[in-house]
Each structure stands twice: as structure tokens, then as C-alpha cells.
Amino acid sequence: MDASSFDHILRKVVIVPIVAILVGAGILAWQIQSASATVTLIQTQDERINQTLGIEQLIVDQETGLRGYEVTHDLRLLQPYLNAQAKFPETFRKRRELAATNPARQKALDALRSAHDTWEQSFASPLISTIQAGGDTNDVALNYQGKLLMDEIRKRIADLNVTTVHAREVAVEHWHKQVRNTIFFLIACSILLGLTIGLYVRRLIKQVSGAFRQSHNVLRIRAEQTFRSEEKLRTTLKSIGDGVITCDAEGRVQSINDTAQELTGWSETEARSQPLDEVFAIFDETTRQPLENPVTRVTRSNQTVRLQNHTILKRRDGTEIFIEDSGAPIRDKHARLVGVVLVFRDVTLAKRSQQALLANEKLAVAGRLAASIAHEIHNPLDSVSNLLFLMDGVATDEERTHFLLLAKQEIARVTQISRAMLSLYRESKAPVKIDLREMLDSILLLMEVRFQTLGVHVAHDVPGGLCVHGFPAELRQVFTNLLTNAAEASGPGGTVKLAALPQPARNDEDGIHHDEGVIVTVEDNGPGIPENILAQLFQPFFTTKGERGTGLGLWISRGIITKHGGTIDLESSTAEQHHGTTISVFLATNPTINPAPASS
């Protein structure tokens, strides 16, 4: 049931009883009206009876006055007769008026009047005249006639009274009936009204209560569903392996799950309503500067943000862990930002194993290099001992000077190799300016024997004066990896081309700015890389070389290049005519260097 039908029912509940009561009241008013008309009728009948009584009284007065005058012959006693005679016409007229609606009664009245007139004219007036003339009043015939006339009058009056009284009785009876009817109607009407209103309202209330029960049920089910889903959400959040913190739009903590409590060192009760900065204090691994609160970043950008992956979380007890995290906006149904959810995880272990892997790869590279270096050093040392042997035996000064020069050259080569070897592991703390030609030449020098063993010819075209800023040992590792891969792929008789090209600052077609830098390419004419393994190349431990490979070279190289703010791209073809692989490394001249090697 919706709100409008509910209103409709409420209106009906009020209006229907009012209408029913009004109808009942109307009928009652009509009944009272007709009862009061009956009362008026009774009053008129009373009036008529009174008037008739008045007439009767006047006639009695006349008869008594006449009788007194007849006996005493004293005029004073005739006075009541005269008074009554004077009043008679008016009284009679009034009585006749009251009978205006009843012709039969008018006729009876007229007959009464004429009987009275006859009595006056043929008995009363002659008798008075006789008395006044001093005549005889004992005329029996006259008196008897007078008596007969008077009897006639009395009879008519009595008749009139009887009909009037009867009419009054009828009216009174009618009135009683009306009153009874009214009472009956009142009782019946009350019962009927009560029943109708009761049943009707009961029906409506049943509808309303049905609807109420229904909506109550719906609400209950919804509440149960909400409770269940909240419970599920709570359990999910509780058991999730990542730390989850939710904040309101002002950046105050609203909830914090078990993992987040463990990682931050704040319990839920302590953390609730605290500013996020307090609970989730993050800063940069190298600069040690506090990092912008993710809630502020999400609020500003109004979209999901990821933290840089060298973020450190300072726990409540002061210990530090590496974390990786993301923040996402929480929106209401009007898409307004009402909060932010923060998801983060402890990557300290991963970070450590990554560092261990890096060290491992360095060791592997160093191990592989050690063999070639031993070989490399062995050759000049062999020459030196041969030269010393010759110098010992041969006497001429000229020859000795020549051998000494040759020995010096051989020793210089050994020194050069050992210096190159040393610089491979001499980590600089800050990026330094690197002359690319110098670095690449020294790498080639170290790898010379290896290339020879593999039967690979190396062509290089690196112009002088190309400089970038970076960590030389790390970049050496990159190019050693790339050159090794290329040489191994090319195989005997193959060619590896190493080239470098300056790249001026530019804006590409998407309007993105690219800094000034150098592109170093390592190209081989090996078999190329099949498409199905391209996607896995940069993943750690992916190798096609079995025991001989570590599968870390490309992964680490990309990490180092990304750290240097550069890019590494691979192009490969397995076509029969032009097979081979080209790897291009872009290094910016003045990069913003990310402190930790990143890999993904």
C-alpha cells in the first residue's frame, strides 16, 4: 500500500461516519419538525376549545343575566346579559377564524350562531321588551320555547366541543406516535450507524493493518538482509589478509580491520574518530619526508590512487614496515564523496627477498664474470712470465727494454681489468655522472673473452661525450645482462650491435613531455623470441636456458632502469629473413631517480 492509498483510506474513515451521522441527523430533524407541527396543531385545538368555552360562557352569562332581570326586573341584573351580548360577535368571529380550514366546523359554528341569534331575537329580546313594558313574564309557552332554543344552543356547543376535543385527542395520539417513532428511529439509527461505521471502519482498519503488517514484514526482511550482509562484510573485512581502514570525508577513521590494527599497532577503539595521519603515518623511504595522506589525495583527485611503492608506515611503537597500498573513494547514491577506503599490505618481506634476489643475480653475474676474468688475467700474466723468462735469458739491452715494455703493457691490461671489476661493485650513494662510452667500453673489455668463446662478433657505435646521471654499478649490470643475453642468443658466427643515440627533449603526439637523454640499443641476429613467451620475459625466474640461466637478468634490468626514470623496450622477430632481437634502453640525462629498484 502506498502513501496516497493510505491517505485515501484515512479520508474515508473520517468522511463516511460524518456523512452517515449527517443523514441520521437530517431524518431526526425532519421527525422533530413534524412532531412540533403536531404540537402546534394541538395548541390550535386547545385554542379552539378555549374559544368555544368562551362562547359557552357568554351564553351562560346572557342566560343568567336574563333570568335575574326576569325575576327582579332590576336593570342592573341585566348588565351581564348586555356585556356578553356586546362581546359575542367578536368572540364568535375569532372562533370562526380558527375554523377557517374546516368548512364542516364553520357550518356547525354558523348553525350555532343562527341558533343563538334565533334565541336572542325570538326569546331574549321580546322577553326584555315585555319586562321593560311591565308585562307578564310568566308566559309558559314563551319560556318553554326559550328553553328549547337554549337546549339547541347547548347541544351545538357540546357537539362542537366533542369534535374539537376528539380532534385534539387524535392530534395528541398522533404526537405520541411521532415521539415513539422518533425514539424508535433514534435507537434504530444509532444501532445501524454504530454497526455500519463499526463494520466499515473495521474493514478499512483491517486493510491498513494488513498493509502495515506487510510493510513491517518487508522492513524486517530488509533489516535481516542488511544485518546479514553487514555481518558478511564485517567477517570478510576481519578475515581479509590486507589492512583496510575506512575514513569519513574529513579523513577521520571510521573502521579498521584486524590486519590494519596489527600493522598500525592501533586498536579499533583507539583508532576510531582519530585523524588518519595519526593512525596511518607514512613517509618516503629515502627522503624520510612525510607523504601526503591518501584521503587528501583521493578527495582531491576523486578517483582511486595508488601509493608509491617505496612507502614506509611508521607503526605506533615506532617500528617501520614497507607497505603497498591504494585508496578509493566511497560515494553515496548521489555520487557525492562520503569517505575513503584504504587498503594496504606489508611488503617488507617481499622487499627483502627482492633485495636478496638482486644480490643473488649480482653474485651470479660476478661468478660468470669471474671465470672470464680469470681467463682474461691469466693470458697477460702468462705473457708477463714468458717475457720475464725471456728477459732472464736474452742479454741485449735493446731486447730487454722491448720485453719490459711488453710486460708493462700486459700488466696495464691486468690493472685495467681489475679496476673494471672493482667498479662493478663499488656502489655509489648518490647518482653520479656517467660517460656512457667509457662505461660500455669497459663492459665490452670485461666480456671480450666471453664473446670470443661464444664466437660472437661485437660491433659498437657509441659516440663520445654522451653522459647520463645514475648508479654506474647498476647500469653496468643492466648492459652486461643485455649483452650476455644477446651474445647467447646470437651463437657462433652471430653479430651483436651495441649503439647509443642522443635523444633531445620532445613532446610526443599525445602531448606528453620526454626529457633529453640517450637511447642505447643492443641488437642481435639470434633466432628472436617466440610471441608466446614475450609476456613472461620480464618476470623473475623466467628462463629458457635451464641450469645455465637464472631468469633474473631482464627482471632486474627493468627494475634498475625504472629506478633511473628510464624505459626498456624489446622488439623481436622470428622471421626467417630478419630474425633477431633489439632491446632499447632510454636513459634521461638528468633523471629524477627513484631510490629503490622497482620491479613488477
Q: Does 542 bind ligand ADP (CB under 6 A)?
A: yes
Q: Does 543 bind ligand ADP (CB under 6 A)?
A: yes
Closer residue to ligand ADP, CB minimum distance, 24 or 491: 491
Closer residue to Mg ion, CB minimum distance, 307 or 478: 478
Least spacing, CB of residue 581 vs Mg ion, in Å: 12
Pick the piece of the chain touching Mg ion (CB under 5 A) from 338-346, 417-425, 549-557, 558-566.
549-557
Closer residue to ligand ADP, CB minimum distance, 118 or 573: 573
Q: Does 581 bind Mg ion (CB under 5 A)?
A: no
Least spacing, CB of residue 324 vs ligand ADP, in Å: 23
From residue 16, alpha-carbon distances to 8, 10, 27, 63, 197 in Å are 12, 10, 17, 70, 8
Q: Does 553 bind Mg ion (CB under 5 A)?
A: yes
At 413, which amino acid appears? R
Query: Quick check: 265 and 295 in contact, CB under 8 A?
Result: no
Q: Does 477 bind ligand ADP (CB under 6 A)?
A: no
Closer residue to ligand ADP, CB minimum distance, 479 or 555: 555
The enclosing H or E element of 338 equals strand 337-346
The pattern of x and - marking residues 560 through 589 that bind ligand ADP according to CB under 6 A reads: ---------------------x--------
- Cell, residue 266: 592501533
- Cell, residue 586: 632510454
Q: What is d(CA 96, CA 105) in angstroms, rounded to the nearest whole number?
A: 8
Choose the one of ligand ADP, Mg ion, none that binds residue 24, judging by a C-beta under 5 to 8 angstroms depending on kind: none
Looking from the CA of 277 toward its CB, the CA atoms found within 13 Å total: 7
Least spacing, CB of residue 483 vs Mg ion, in Å: 10
Binding residues among 28-47 for ligand ADP as defined by CB under 6 A: none
Q: Does 529 bind ligand ADP (CB under 6 A)?
A: yes
Least spacing, CB of residue 365 vs Mg ion, in Å: 9
Q: Does 557 bind Mg ion (CB under 5 A)?
A: no
Closer residue to ligand ADP, CB minimum distance, 310 or 558: 558
Least spacing, CB of residue 260 vs ligand ADP, in Å: 36
Least spacing, CB of residue 370 vs ligand ADP, in Å: 17
Closer residue to ligand ADP, CB minimum distance, 359 or 432: 359
Least spacing, CB of residue 558 vs ligand ADP, in Å: 9
Other C-beta atoms closer than 10 Å to the C-beta of 322 total 19
Q: What is d(CA 455, CA 490) in angstroms, rounded to the nearest whole number?
A: 9
Least spacing, CB of residue 533 vs ligand ADP, in Å: 7
The pattern of x and - marking residues 481 through 510 that bind ligand ADP according to CB under 6 A reads: x---xx--x---------------------
DSSP code, position 585? E
Other C-beta atoms closer than 10 Å to the C-beta of 234 total 12
Instruction: State the Cα torsion 230-234-240-246 to the nearest 10°.
Output: 90
Kindly report each contact of residues 553-556 with a partner whose C-beta sits within 8 Å and lies 24 or more positions away, as own/partner.
553/361, 553/481, 553/482, 553/484, 553/485, 554/481, 554/485, 555/599, 556/357, 556/358, 556/361, 556/477, 556/478, 556/481, 556/597, 556/599
Q: Does 485 bind Mg ion (CB under 5 A)?
A: yes
Least spacing, CB of residue 569 vs ligand ADP, in Å: 13
Quick one: 447 exposed, middle or buried, by C-beta within 10 A (0-12, 13-18, 19+)?
Answer: buried
The pattern of x and - marking residues 296 through 335 that bind ligand ADP according to CB under 6 A reads: ----------------------------------------
- CA 389 to chain centroid: 94
Choose the one of Mg ion, ligand ADP, none that binds residue 462, judging by a C-beta under 5 to 8 angstroms depending on kind: none
Choose the one of ligand ADP, Mg ion, none that binds residue 543, judging by a C-beta under 5 to 8 angstroms depending on kind: ligand ADP
Q: Exactly one of 65, 329, 339, 553 binds ligand ADP (CB under 6 A); which one?
A: 553
Q: Exactly one of 544, 569, 571, 595 binds ligand ADP (CB under 6 A); which one?
A: 544
Please provide the DSSP assignment of 465-502 as one string: T-EEEE-HHHHHHHHHHHHHHHHHHH-TT-EEEEEEEE
The count of residues interacting with Mg ion (CB under 5 A) is 2
Query: If we measure between CA atoms, which residue out of 319, 371, 341, 315 comes closest to residue 244?
Result: 341
Please provide the DSSP assignment of 259-316 as one string: HHHHHH---HHHHTTSBHHHHSEEEETTT-PBPPPHHHHHHHH-S-EE--TTEEEEPT
Choose the one of ligand ADP, Mg ion, none that binds residue 343, judging by a C-beta under 5 to 8 angstroms depending on kind: none
User: Which residue number places its CB atom closest to ligand ADP?
Assistant: 553
From residue 1, alpha-carbon distances to 34, 99, 113, 168, 213 in Å are 48, 69, 82, 63, 11
| Chain contacts with Mg ion (rule: CB under 5 A) | 485, 553
Residues that bind ligand ADP (CB under 6 A): 481, 485-486, 489, 524, 526, 529, 537, 542-545, 549-555, 581
